[in-house]
Amino acid sequence: MIKPRKSPRGVPAAHAAEAPRSADKTHRSASGGPKPTRAIRAAERREAIVAAALDEFAGRGFAATRLEDVAKRAGVAKGTIYLHFKDKEALFQELVRTALVPLIGRLTAAPAATESPRAALEMFAETFVQEVIGTKRGDILRLIVAEGARFPSLAEFYYREVVSRGLAGMQKLIEIGIARGEISNADILRFPQLVVAPAMVAVIWQGLFGKLAPLDVRAMLHAHIDLIFGERRTT
């Protein structure tokens, strides 16, 4: 064996992180289609790189992540990354951007789906707990919080694509709630951030203190919904 060159002189690593995805040379694209064409293989590799990058960036932050580790984890050579991404920063930004697409879908789908604002918020909370908290999507959120200030274009993108849309959706919901008399505090309308704040804090909490003091996120979000709607919940 070769000893890949990890922590210089036996310094721990602090971050369990191996198991290169052996790159499944025989894996066909998701559909059971014909044998993998070159294009399909390339797309798979690109995905593997992005997935590996997510793990590494989320675990170490942008500056401390080594592309060699990303490559190893993706099961490709270092140079291969550069066939798909101009440089480390492009990979990082692309990662966040592409990872956001399903996140946006998930979360903006929720409010649109239902009748009552309260039910919509509860569905949002449930979706958030299931699909964000403790998942890669949560890592991405924390990544943006952590690195956003250093990547203005990324912060702007995130604001434009996720934050402003999400908040606009929230405002719609709140308007309905106010109109129906379910929400009494009309000021919330000006600050839809108040509605989402506990979800953000939950993501951060789990990242920082999850090991020390796990948080019952679902219960917390429900308590928050009760607060907004000014009533006891039945559950």
- Contact footprint for its own copies (CB under 8 A): 1-15, 59-64, 142, 144-152, 155-156, 158-159, 163-164, 184-185, 187-188, 190-191, 193-194, 196-198, 200-202, 204-205, 207-209, 211-213, 215, 219-220, 222-224, 226-228, 230, 232
Based on CB atoms, which residue is closest to its own copies, 13 or 104? Answer: 13
Least Å distance between CB 70 and DNA?
A: 8
- Whether the CB-CB separation of 17 and 55 falls below 8 Å is answered with yes
Beta strands in the chain (DSSP E): none
For residue 3, is it left (φ>0), alpha (ψ between -120 and 50) or beta?
A: left
28 near DNA (CB under 7 A): no
Identify what 198 binds: DNA, its own copies, none; CB under 5 to 8 Å per kind: its own copies
Q: Contacts by 150-154 with C-beta closer than 8 Å and gap 24+?
A: 150/62, 151/62, 151/89, 151/92, 151/93, 153/93, 154/92, 154/93, 154/96, 154/97
> Of these partners, DNA, its own copies, none, which one is at the site of residue 82 (CB under 5 to 8 Å by kind)?
DNA
Cβ–Cβ < 8 Å for 20, 75: yes
Give me the least distance between CB of 81 and DNA, in Å please.
Answer: 7
Q: Which of 54, 62, 141, 143 is nearest to 106 (CA)?
A: 141
Residue 83 interacts with which of DNA, its own copies, none, CB < 5 to 8 Å by class: DNA
Interacting residue ranges for DNA, rule: CB under 7 A: 3-11, 37-38, 41-42, 45, 64-68, 76-80, 82-84, 87-89
